[in-house]
């Protein structure tokens, strides 16, 4: 998930030097200073340029079974950050924190 894979790609956006640049996320693909309505987003959706806003910490769907990842905005199966993509990751981290012998710092 963080880059230890055949593509050497992190599927956690913003982590490392090689991560998805065309995630399927409206807030990432539309420039901050754009004046737009609900239906105007398609000009950015179809843009060949990487997303102007990096969604740091977003976990995308990841690779297919053959270890390939198509970094395209319209590839919602692999490139969309969703809560169900990150649920298992959050559960594992929660278990590690709960089982830790390190005192809480908060």
Q: Can 40 be counted among the known catalytic residues?
A: no
Cα separation, 14 vs 90, whole angstroms:
17
| Polymer length of the chain | 106
67 is a catalytic site residue: no
**Cβ 29 vs Cβ 73: under 8 Å:** yes
Q: Residue 71 CB: number of other CB atoms within 10 A?
A: 16
80 is catalytic: yes
**Active-site residue, from 15, 18, 40, 80:** 80
The one catalytic residue among 4, 15, 18, 24: 24
Per annotation, catalytic residue among 18, 25, 67, 71: 71
Q: DSSP letter at 63?
A: -
Q: How far is CA 47 from CA 5, 30, 31, 89, 91, in A?
A: 28, 10, 12, 31, 35
Residues tagged active-site: 24, 71, 80
């Amino acid at each position: 998930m963080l880059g230890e894979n055949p593509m050497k790609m992190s599927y956690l956006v913003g982590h490392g030097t090689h991560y998805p640049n065309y995630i399927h996320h409206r807030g990432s693909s539309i420039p901050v200073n754009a004046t737009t309505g609900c239906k105007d987003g398609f000009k950015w959706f179809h843009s060949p340029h990487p997303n102007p806003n990096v969604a740091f910490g977003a976990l995308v769907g990841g690779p297919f079974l053959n270890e390939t990842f198509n970094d395209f905005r319209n590839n919602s199966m692999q490139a969309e950050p969703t809560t169900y993509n990150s649920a298992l990751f959050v559960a594992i981290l929660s278990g590690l924190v709960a089982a830790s012998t390190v005192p809480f710092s908060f």
